[in-house]
């Protein structure tokens, strides 16, 4: 769905998506890392369980909500990847935990 | 965190947003000796138009183009201005009294400002058509952010659909980066040409005319473009697979797609201004609400100015100039410069605004998106978060729900996590169309803080005053 331009080499950042190791790049948002790894869908909606994925990439639509390091409903497009980050796609309605 | 720990609880000027308007405003004010803090949601300056300007992996300058790289000058000037930059900051409340609530690094903070400049920029207009919530459907702006920030280009069967300069810019940037586009479905109504024609002479003097024509030629030479596209629908189960459309009066056609990038213009991001209570009015050419401001950007609330595309769509160059004007006025009101100096320093920005504003009316009228792509019908979702369909809105209007705020309490539209950011205009236009009145008569959602979701733990992390603690402690 997306490929990276070859130049220049940007430092890799190792994260996991649903438990699978994924190599993101420094400066990636979590949403960019999801799309680069082929995840167009990152959650199902809270009302009808319909598939959703990143849409606006700038914090407007709230459709890229995922679980990051155990915290649900984070905007994947607004959080940068960090080494060892655990990202999980989420299904249906989630509790907003602190 | 260390940056906010060092932040004073009050300052003279807070600028919100680090795009062209915010950067230029903060730079101008700080250089005039105003104690200035710039709060921005992104981790690096630039806003969306100059997104990742200091760190983009796209180093071949011709790919993003000179209009993008112009942003580097604004950042360089800002960094030597003395203004304090607090990136990664979500502002969730601004009061008329100048108290600003924001979160950074998971902790909430308050800061008081004598004056506030909102430079919250633009967002893409909603494109509510059947299938627009499917994974693999994104905005052209989203694709551009992926290119600027992560050096990512779409591959597979990529279809662009919509209208407006950004659609063509993204197409050209993709082609320069070695990307492929199956087709561009141009939804611009042919009748727009007639409406825009009287304003063509003014556009002939514009800096943008030559660049715009070159861009169209660059794309049309390499990608099939289908004009007068209507009845756009996107099909798929777990993700988008097909685009269905009509061109003019020709029979319906289908094309396979792995990624569909939609765009039909940008509109001011007004959430914060709206929540503060700044007056706004309907702009019929641009089909959106714009705040009511004076020649310095000052809103109906005296302490608050609005600069950049958040004050009405005018483009990045004018955004920076309007930021400078708002900063001059702030410096004047704060006693740093007298009115004579303010007016003298405003001459160059005003001249630049006149220059870059040439042809705006032509562009507005030329790329006005068609009604059927703004006002959805039937089962098409108007509110993505709460999954409210166009039909539900129309039926609620028939039951007597005549405004967006009544609609909220009846249907919950605009009450999901995005807080109406994406559906606001659609709901207003749907109600207006169902009632047969202008969106000006319908109005917009009345927004209230917190204007971005925050957790209770973040709120609880706010520093408490002795009086506040005493007020709730028993015994």
Q: At what angle do helices B207-220 and B165-176 cross, to 10 degrees?
A: 60
Model confidence at B473, in pLDDT bands (50, 70, 90)? confident
Residue A5 covered by a domain: no
- For this complex, say whether ipTM is above 0.90: yes
Residue A98 covered by a domain: no
State pLDDT tens for residues B74-106. Answer: 999 999 999 999 999 999 999 999 999 999 988
pLDDT (mean) for B101-129: 96
CA distance A33 to chain B (A): 9
Backbone angles phi, psi at B241, to 5 degrees: -125, -25
Under an 8 A CB cutoff, do A60 and B418 touch?
yes
Q: Provide the number of structural domains found in chain A.
A: 1
Residue A24 covered by a domain: yes
B120 and A CB contact within 8 Å: no
pLDDT (mean) for B236-258: 97
Q: Yes or no: say if B254 and B243 are a contact pair by the CB < 8 Å rule.
A: yes
Write out the two tokens for B77: 């000037």
Under an 8 A CB cutoff, do A57 and B59 touch?
no
* Pairwise pLDDT comparison (B2 vs A23), residue with the higher score: A23
pLDDT at position A96:
52
For chain A, the C-alpha Rg in angstroms (whole number) is 13
Residue A22 covered by a domain: yes
Model confidence at A98, in pLDDT bands (50, 70, 90)? very low
pLDDT at position B4:
55
pLDDT at position B208:
85
Mutating which of B48, B135, B412, B455 best tests the A interface, going by the most A Cβ atoms within 10 A?
Answer: B135
Under an 8 A CB cutoff, do A57 and B142 touch?
yes
Within 191-210 of B, beta carbons closer than 8 Å to A belong to none
Structural domain containing residue A64:
12-91
* Number of C-beta neighbours around residue B183 at 10 A: 19
Residue A6 covered by a domain: no
Under an 8 A CB cutoff, do B387 and A35 touch?
no
B383 and A CB contact within 8 Å: no
A76 and B CB contact within 8 Å: no
A63 contacts in chain B (CB < 8 Å): 133, 384
B138 contacts in chain A (CB < 8 Å): 53-57
pLDDT (mean) for A49-63: 96
pLDDT at A73 over 70: yes
pLDDT at position B399:
94
pLDDT at position B2:
43
**From A42, which residue of chain B is nearest by alpha-carbon distance?**
B135
pLDDT at position B66:
92
Within 8-67 of A, beta carbons closer than 8 Å to B belong to 8, 10, 25, 27-29, 32, 35-36, 40-42, 45, 47-48, 50-63, 65
Contacts of B370 (CB under 8 A, 6+ apart): B187, B189, B230
- Weakest-pLDDT range from A4-18, B44-58, B82-96, B318-332: A4-18
DSSP for B236-258 reads ESSSEEEEEEEETTSPPEEEE-S
pLDDT at A7 over 80: no
State pLDDT tens for residues B251-300. Answer: 999 999 999 999 999 999 999 999 999 999 999 999 999 999 999 999 99
Using the structure block, give the residue that is written with the tokens 């702006």: B141
pLDDT at B19 over 50: yes
pLDDT at B472 over 80: no
Distances (CA, A) of B428 to B249, B289, B292: 29, 10, 19
Under an 8 A CB cutoff, do A7 and B422 touch?
no
Give the H or E element holding residue B27: helix B20-31
B452 vs B154: CA distance, rounded Å: 30
Average pLDDT, chain A: 93
Residue A82 covered by a domain: yes
B414 vs B417: CA distance, rounded Å: 8
pLDDT at B467 over 90: no
pLDDT (mean) for A33-49: 95
pLDDT at position B463:
79
CATH code for position A40:
3.10.20.440
State pLDDT tens for residues B388-428. Answer: 999 999 999 999 999 999 999 999 999 899 999 999 999 99
pLDDT at B71 over 90: yes
Residue A72 covered by a domain: yes
Average pLDDT, chain B: 95
pLDDT at position B1:
40
State pLDDT tens for residues B432-446. Answer: 999 999 999 999 999
Residue A65 covered by a domain: yes
B48 and A CB contact within 8 Å: yes
pLDDT at A70 over 90: yes
pLDDT at position B5:
54
pLDDT at B3 over 70: no
* Number of C-beta neighbours around residue B270 at 10 A: 27
């Amino acid at each position: 769905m997306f490929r990276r331009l070859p130049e220049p080499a940007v430092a890799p950042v190792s994260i996991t998506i649903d438990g699978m190791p994924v190599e993101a790049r420094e400066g990636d948002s979590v949403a960019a890392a999801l799309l680069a790894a082929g995840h167009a869908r990152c959650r199902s909606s809270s009302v009808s369980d319909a598939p959703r994925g990143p849409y606006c990439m700038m914090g407007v639509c709230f459709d890229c909500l995922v679980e990051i390091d155990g915290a649900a409903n984070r905007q994947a497009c607004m959080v940068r990847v960090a080494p060892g980050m655990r990202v999980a796609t989420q299904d249906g309605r989630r509790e907003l935990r602190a | 965190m260390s940056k906010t720990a060092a932040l004073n609880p009050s300052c003279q000027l807070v600028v919100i947003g680090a795009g062209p308007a915010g950067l230029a405003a903060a730079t101008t004010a700080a250089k005039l000796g105003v104690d200035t803090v710039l709060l921005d949601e992104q981790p690096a300056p630039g806003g969306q138009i100059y997104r990742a300007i200091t760190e983009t992996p796209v180093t071949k300058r011709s790919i993003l183009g000179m209009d993008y790289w112009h942003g580097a000058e604004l950042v360089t000037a800002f960094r030597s201005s003395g203004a304090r930059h607090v990136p990664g900051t979500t502002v969730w409340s601004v009061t008329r009294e100048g108290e600003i609530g924001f979160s950074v690094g998971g902790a909430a903070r308050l800061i008081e400002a004598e004056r506030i400049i909102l430079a919250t920029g633009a967002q893409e207009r909603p494109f509510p058509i059947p299938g627009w919530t499917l994974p693999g459907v994104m905005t052209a702006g989203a694709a551009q952010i992926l290119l600027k920030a992560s050096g990512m280009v779409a591959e597979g069967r990529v279809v662009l659909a919509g209208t407006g300069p950004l659609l063509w810019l993204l197409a050209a940037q993709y082609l320069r980066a070695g990307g492929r586009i199956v087709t561009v479905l141009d939804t611009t109504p042919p009748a727009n040409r007639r409406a825009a024609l009287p304003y063509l002479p003014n556009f002939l003097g514009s800096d943008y005319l030559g660049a715009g024509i070159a861009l169209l030629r660059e794309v049309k030479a390499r990608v099939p473009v289908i004009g007068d596209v209507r009845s756009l629908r996107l099909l798929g189960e777990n993700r988008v697979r097909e685009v269905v459309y009509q061109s003019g009066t020709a029979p319906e056609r289908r094309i396979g797609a792995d990624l569909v990038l939609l765009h039909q213009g940008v509109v001011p991001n007004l959430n914060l201004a709206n929540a503060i209570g700044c007056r706004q009015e309907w702009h019929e050419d641009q089909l959106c609400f714009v705040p009511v401001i004076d020649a310095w950007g000052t809103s109906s609330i005296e302490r608050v100015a609005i600069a950049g595309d958040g004050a009405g769509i005018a483009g990045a160059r004018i955004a920076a100039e309007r930021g400078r004007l708002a900063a001059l006025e702030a410096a004047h009101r704060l006693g740093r410069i007298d009115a004579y100096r303010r007016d003298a320093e405003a001459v160059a920005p005003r001249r630049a605004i006149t220059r870059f504003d040439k042809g705006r009316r032509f562009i507005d009228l030329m790329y006005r998106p068609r009604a059927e792509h703004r006002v959805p019908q039937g089962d098409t979702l108007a509110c993505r978060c709460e999954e409210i369909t166009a039909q539900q809105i129309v039926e609620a209007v028939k039951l007597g729900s005549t405004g967006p705020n009544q609609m909220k309490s009846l249907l919950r539209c605009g009450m999901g996590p995005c807080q109406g950011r994406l559906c606001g205009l659609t709901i207003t236009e749907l109600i207006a169309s169902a009632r047969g009145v202008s969106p000006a008569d319908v109005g917009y959602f009345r927004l209230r803080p917190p204007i971005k979701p925050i957790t209770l733990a973040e709120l609880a992390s706010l520093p408490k005053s002795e009086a506040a603690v005493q007020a709730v402690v028993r015994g």
